[in-house]
């Protein structure tokens, strides 16, 4: 099996990034204006990278399938962004953020990348404040923090429940400045269809104008992929419905290794599935676990009465409730990492204690927090003898100030008032830790093809801690890629403009057109959604919160059969040379049908449980994950060889020189 060169610098952990920046080659300002860079995806990672690269002087082209970068799925991030500023004075540091991230990922991430992320986290906050991002502030004017799962400190900066939106608007403003200067040329409503290699280097893309249907050629000296994760392989997820794997998968088919596809995060705090009519799921921010207590009835008969409507949750006494996270994990309580909380919820529901009609929901209750905050507010206002009604009123006002938009969203969807009745939540697919393999410079196994944000695998291991996605995306875009890409581009200062009339572009465009023609020539028996929903059920049932060897092999066989049927019988109305939303979906689902099989294959080869990858064969009596550090302390990087069943596994051994590997405990 091949060896992968991560290019992590030698020397002490805390010095690696500084040393690397001092030693890599640079491109001087006069030469940057002669170099073109394509950025695919304009969420937080792509938008911040595009703005920064353009500010440095490069000529940037951006591509997104939405009508505006403001529509990127980054806007949906609610809870916050981590940074080791230690504003709370509770003992935080860059090392502790690094340690929490590696431990939270169950010791399956690369030390050098994660420490760099922790180092740059503080710079991100300063950058965003300078852009005008309205982070929450304490009474004295300092930025406020709250806690997220898997940590014992408060390091999460937030803007109510709209953190992603506010960060994206800051990023978009930075992009607009460069667009007005002519340094960024935006191509909205365009989708990358293929990556073009010239002499083994990424030199451009083939894109489709989603409004006119026109196939276009775009060249550059380097291509940056920032196209997000692949959670929609499950059909139902918290991702935007358009989120897809196409850009990353096109690069994978051209030679970029795909790493750890089976490392997918199930978020514990989502609105439960309500029926087959749904096309996506809605996230309730992890920040709610700061103040919400998670519970189910302690007796099955009470759970049955709640499911049948005979009993309301507010009628259950404290002693009749099982606050199971607080019971099982007293040190962290409701703020255990997402994979731990998700499995615990599934275990309670599988045991018959679920509380909605399907039996797949638990409660997230704010009654205690309302009481606590109400009493604090009453005393703060000098109301020493406040009655119960006044205390509850004051407590609700505090909760509204912290989470108001989230509570409003829940009430609109569920038609229940979460201030009065506990929220119902259940785990759902949320984030993908896997993605294209990248080295320390964020370069894939294709020269000149870089990958940043959720589209790469690099920083989160087998489980991402909450509020770290925004941190990684902005660190990659603002502070890492703009340095490291110069090391590669320094060899291109005399290359000149890359022509698009070369045989390589001809061949790539020909293959794109042939693929579209093949999609359009299906017999027309079933819609695209028909295949996507079947794939999603296979993935959720056999590759979801828990997996086993028998069902993973079944998934591999079933997905391969489904993929063949898709290409033979899919129905795509309309034409390929005009706006065609079904054709867009079909291309994306075709890639999911390949990725899904590789996902299952990756999960089948990893004979251990770690983080979000839970193999039923490898667990303790208490249902906790059992890692195998001797045999599986590596990154799985898959090389494309045609069918997913023929993919070749390459391993990057993970070295832990600064952290002692332990059984991951949150008790």
Element (H, E) at 638: strand 634-639
pLDDT at residue 326 is higher than 70: yes
pLDDT at residue 9 in the model = 97
Please check whether residue 361 is in contact with residue 425, taking contact to mean a CB–CB distance below 8 angstroms: yes
Report the DSSP pairing between strands 435-436 and 184-188.
unpaired
Q: Are 510 and 423 part of one and the same domain?
A: no
pLDDT at residue 285 is higher than 90: yes
Distance CA 557, CA 92 (A): 48
- Catalytic-role residue among 110, 289, 338, 627: 338
Counting the structural domains of the chain, the total is: 2
Q: Are 418 and 518 part of one and the same domain?
A: no
Q: Are 296 and 400 part of one and the same domain?
A: yes
Question: Does 110 fall in a domain?
Answer: no
The token duo for 642 is 């045609």
Provide the 10 A C-beta neighbour count for residue 245.
Answer: 27
Give residue 311's region: left, alpha or beta (phi > 0; psi -120 to 50). beta
Question: Does 443 fall in a domain?
Answer: no
Question: Does 263 fall in a domain?
Answer: no
Mean pLDDT, the chain, as a whole number? 96
Question: Does 613 fall in a domain?
Answer: yes
Please report where in the chains the tokens 């709640």 appear, as a residue.
306
Using the 3D structure, point to which of 428, 447, 478 is the last residue of a domain. 428
Residue 547 annotated in active site: no
Distance CA 40, CA 59 (A): 14
Question: Does 188 fall in a domain?
Answer: no
- What are the DSSP calls for 241-256, one per residue? TT--SHHHHHHHHTT-
DSSP H helical segments within 24-110, as ranges? Answer: 29-32, 44-56, 94-104
Distance CA 211, CA 513 (A): 17
pLDDT at residue 10 in the model = 95
Question: Does 361 fall in a domain?
Answer: yes
Q: Are 276 and 416 part of one and the same domain?
A: yes
Q: Are 507 and 420 part of one and the same domain?
A: no
Distance CA 173, CA 642 (A): 42
Q: Which domain holds residue 309?
A: 269-428
Question: Does 510 fall in a domain?
Answer: yes
Q: What value, to the nearest 5°, has the Cα angle with vertex 315 and ends 341 and 282?
A: 40
Distance CA 316, CA 304 (A): 13
Q: Give the CATH number of the domain where residue 539 resides.
A: 1.20.58.100
Q: Are 423 and 507 part of one and the same domain?
A: no
Provide the 10 A C-beta neighbour count for residue 180.
Answer: 9
pLDDT at residue 475 is higher than 60: yes
Q: What is the mean pLDDT of residues 553-578?
A: 97
CA 317, chain centre distance (Å): 38
pLDDT at residue 293 in the model = 98
How many percent of the chain have pLDDT more than 90?
97
Tens of pLDDT along 232-280? Answer: 999 999 999 999 999 999 999 999 999 999 999 999 999 999 878 888 9
Q: Are 511 and 603 part of one and the same domain?
A: yes
Q: What is the mean pLDDT of residues 33-39?
A: 98
Q: Are 508 and 595 part of one and the same domain?
A: yes
Strand-pair partners of 191: 208
Q: Are 415 and 513 part of one and the same domain?
A: no
Higher pLDDT, residue 207 or 160: 207
pLDDT at residue 2 is higher than 80: no
Distance CA 393, CA 388 (A): 9
pLDDT at residue 514 is higher than 90: yes
End-to-end alpha carbon distance in the chain: 38
Q: Are 280 and 413 part of one and the same domain?
A: yes
3-state secondary structure of 533: helix
Q: Are 391 and 284 part of one and the same domain?
A: yes
Distance CA 205, CA 24 (A): 27
pLDDT at residue 238 in the model = 96
Tens of pLDDT along 575-623? Answer: 999 999 999 999 999 999 999 999 999 999 999 999 999 999 999 998 9
pLDDT at residue 245 in the model = 98
Distance CA 454, CA 273 (A): 25
Strand-pair partners of 198: 201
pTM above 0.75, yes or no: yes
User: Up-side HSE of residue 302: CA atoms within 13 Å toward CB?
Assistant: 16
- What torsion, rounded to 10 degrees, do the Cα atoms 233, 235, 238, 239 define? 60
Question: Does 50 fall in a domain?
Answer: no
Q: Give the CATH number of the domain where residue 389 resides.
A: 3.90.700.10
Tens of pLDDT along 150-196? Answer: 999 999 999 999 999 999 999 999 999 999 999 999 999 999 999 99
pLDDT at residue 414 is higher than 80: yes
Q: How confident is the model at residue 1 (pLDDT cuts 50, 70, 90)?
A: very low
Tens of pLDDT along 72-129? Answer: 999 999 999 999 999 999 999 999 999 999 999 999 999 999 999 999 999 999 999 9
3-state secondary structure of 281: coil
The token duo for 465 is 């801690």
Q: What is the mean pLDDT of residues 48-56?
A: 98
Tens of pLDDT along 487-509? Answer: 999 999 999 999 999 999 999 99
Q: Are 283 and 412 part of one and the same domain?
A: yes
Distance CA 82, CA 123 (A): 11
Tens of pLDDT along 451-474? Answer: 999 999 989 999 999 999 999 999
pLDDT at residue 667 in the model = 87
Strand-pair partners of 634: 653
Please check whether residue 579 is in contact with residue 211, taking contact to mean a CB–CB distance below 8 angstroms: yes
């Amino acid at each position: 099996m091949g060896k992968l060169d991560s290019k992590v610098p030698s020397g002490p952990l805390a010095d690696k990034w500084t040393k690397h920046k001092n030693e890599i080659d640079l491109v001087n300002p006069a030469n940057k204006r002669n170099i073109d860079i394509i950025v695919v995806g304009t969420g937080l990672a792509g938008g911040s990278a595009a703005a920064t690269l353009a500010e440095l002087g490069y000529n940037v082209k951006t591509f997104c399938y939405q009508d505006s970068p403001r529509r990127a799925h980054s806007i949906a991030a609610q809870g916050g962004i981590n940074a080791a500023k230690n504003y709370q004075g509770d003992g935080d540091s860059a090392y502790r953020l690094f340690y929490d991230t590696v431990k939270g990922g169950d010791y399956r991430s690369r030390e050098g990348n994660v420490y760099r992320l922790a180092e740059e986290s503080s710079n991100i906050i300063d950058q965003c404040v300078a852009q005008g991002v309205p982070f929450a502030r304490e009474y004295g004017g300092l930025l406020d923090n709250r806690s997220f799962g898997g940590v014992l400190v408060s390091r999460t900066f937030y803007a109510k429940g709209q953190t992603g939106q506010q960060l994206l608007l800051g990023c978009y403003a930075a992009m607009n400045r460069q667009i007005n200067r002519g340094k960024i040329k935006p191509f909205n409503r365009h989708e990358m269809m293929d990556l073009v290699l010239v002499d083994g280097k990424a030199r451009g893309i083939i894109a489709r104008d989603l409004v006119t249907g026109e196939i276009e050629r775009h060249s550059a000296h380097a291509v940056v992929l920032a196209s997000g994760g692949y959670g929609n392989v499950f059909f139902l997820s918290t991702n935007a419905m358009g989120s897809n794997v196409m850009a990353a998968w096109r690069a994978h088919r051209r030679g970029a290794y795909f790493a750890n596809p089976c490392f997918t995060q199930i978020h514990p705090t989502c609105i439960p599935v309500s029926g087959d009519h749904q096309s996506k799921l809605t996230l309730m921010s992890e920040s709610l676990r700061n103040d919400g207590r998670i519970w189910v009835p302690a007796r099955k008969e009470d759970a049955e009465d709640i499911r049948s409507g005979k009993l309301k949750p507010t009628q259950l006494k404290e002693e009749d409730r099982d606050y199971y996270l607080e019971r099982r994990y007293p040190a962290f309580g409701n703020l255990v990492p997402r994979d731990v909380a998700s499995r615990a919820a599934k275990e309670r529901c599988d045991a018959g204690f679920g509380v909605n009609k399907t039996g797949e929901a638990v409660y997230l209750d704010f009654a205690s927090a309302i009481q606590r905050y109400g009493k604090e507010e009453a005393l703060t206002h000098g109301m020493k003898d406040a009655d119960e009604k006044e205390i509850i009123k004051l407590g609700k006002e505090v909760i509204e100030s912290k989470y108001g938009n989230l509570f409003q969203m829940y009430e609109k969807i569920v038609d229940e008032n979460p201030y009065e009745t506990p929220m119902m939540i259940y785990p759902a697919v949320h984030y993908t830790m896997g993605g294209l393999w990248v080295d320390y410079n964020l370069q894939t196994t294709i020269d000149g093809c870089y990958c940043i944000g959720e589209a790469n695998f690099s920083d989160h291991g087998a489980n991402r801690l909450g509020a770290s996605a925004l941190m990684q995306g902005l660190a990659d875009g603002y502070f890492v890629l703009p340095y490291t890409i110069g090391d590669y581009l320094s060899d291109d200062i005399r290359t000149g403009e890359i022509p698009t009339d070369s045989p390589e572009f001809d061949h790539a465009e020909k293959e794109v057109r042939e693929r579209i023609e093949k999609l359009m020539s299906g017999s027309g028996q079933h819609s695209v959604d028909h295949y996507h929903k079947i794939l999603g059920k296979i993935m959720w049932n056999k590759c979801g919160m828990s997996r086993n060897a028998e069902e993973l092999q079944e998934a591999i066989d079933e997905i391969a059969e489904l993929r063949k049927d898709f290409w033979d019988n899919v129905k795509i109305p309309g034409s390929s040379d005009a706006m065609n939303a079904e054709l867009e979906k079909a291309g994306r689902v075709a890639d999911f049908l390949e990725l899904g099989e590789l996902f299952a294959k990756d999960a089948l080869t990893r004979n251990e449980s770690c983080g979000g990858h839970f193999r039923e064969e490898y667990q303790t009596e208490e249902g906790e994950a059992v890692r195998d550090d001797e045999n599986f302390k590596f990154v799985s990087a898959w090389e494309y060889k045609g069918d997913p069943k023929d993919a070749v596994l390459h391993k990057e051994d993970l070295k832990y020189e600064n952290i002692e590997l332990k059984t991951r405990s949150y008790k």
